Amino acid sequence: MISGKNGVTSGTPKNIMFGAGTIHKNLTYSTDAWNFEESLIGATNGGSKVTITPEITPLEIDGMNVSTKNTNIKTGEVAEMEINLTELTSDIVKSAIFGTVEISEVSGYDKIVSKTDIEEGDYWDNIAFVGKKLDGSDVIVILNNALCTSGLESEGSSKSQSVGKYTFSCNAELTGDLNKLPYEIYMAVGEEG
């Protein structure tokens, strides 16, 4: 029975996403399983944020002075993931600065230096967010052809761990459909409400 006081139903608890989720590089599904463990990037602090925003262009028609149904056109979209990593790896640094690893003269260290151009290898096959709903089912958001667009910023302070904020954007293939982004959202099939 719906009382009008709230939107809670018997299905509400199983449809609530809870927790920070995990972030993955090059997440794949094969042989009835995801490669969650192998693709895990690292621990986060402060969670992560996925934003998928369609670009809407309203038609301008004389005499139509308000937003009107069927006169809005999707003219683009942006899909981004902002992650707050508390782990710092050579792979993250290299991706954030569009760098390359050179042979280091210092034993036991990776030497990462800047490159002039963004190259094919700078795009990750994908970056994925995997969250859990209270019923235990996964919510998986995959942004394909992911490119880190935020750069590298690290700030350390006494008695505090450093957290790097990185933004990755989804990109279409040059030879693919240039009118939509290649992102995927997987949600368990189940009862609504």
Indicate whether 59 belongs to any domain: no
Count of beta carbons in the 10 Å neighbourhood of residue 94: 20
Residue reference for tokens 């008695």:
159
> Model's pTM, two decimal places?
0.90
Residue 116, token pair as written in the block: 């002039």
Domain assignment of residue 57, yes or no: no
With respect to residue 62, please indicate whether it lies within any of the assigned structural domains: no
Q: Per the domain annotation, does 107 fall within a domain?
A: yes
When pLDDT is cut at 50, 70 and 90, the band that residue 191 belongs to is low
Total domain count, the chain: 1
* Residue 6, in any domain of the structure: no
Q: Is residue 66 part of a domain?
A: no
Q: What average pLDDT does the segment 123-143 reach?
A: 96
3-class DSSP assignment, residue 92: helix
Q: What is the percentage of the chain residues whose pLDDT exceeds 70?
A: 96
> How high is the pLDDT of residue 192?
55
Asked whether residue 170 is assigned to any structural domain, the reply reads yes
List the domain range (segments joined by +) for residue 21: 13-49+83-187
Q: Would the pLDDT of 3 be above 80?
A: no
Residue 121 lies in a domain: yes
At 190 the pLDDT is 67
The residue behind tokens 């859990």 is 132
Alpha carbon distance 153, 177 (integer Å):
34
Is 14's pLDDT higher than 70?
A: yes
| Confidence grade of residue 2 (pLDDT, cut at 50, 70, 90) | low
Where would I find the beta strands (DSSP E) of 95-189?
Answer: 99-102, 111-114, 124-133, 138-148, 164-169, 183-187
- Token reading at 80: 């981004």
**Tens of pLDDT along 168-182?**
999 999 999 999 999
Model confidence pLDDT, tens digit, residues 81-100: 999 999 999 999 999 999 99
- What's the chain's average pLDDT? 92
Which stretch of DSSP H or E encloses residue 48? Answer: strand 44-58
pLDDT, tens digit, 9 for 90 and up, residues 36-72: 999 999 999 999 999 999 999 999 999 999 999 999 9
Q: Quick one: which of 55, 87, 88 has its CA closest to 72?
A: 55
- How far apart are alpha carbons 27 and 38 in whole angstroms? 8
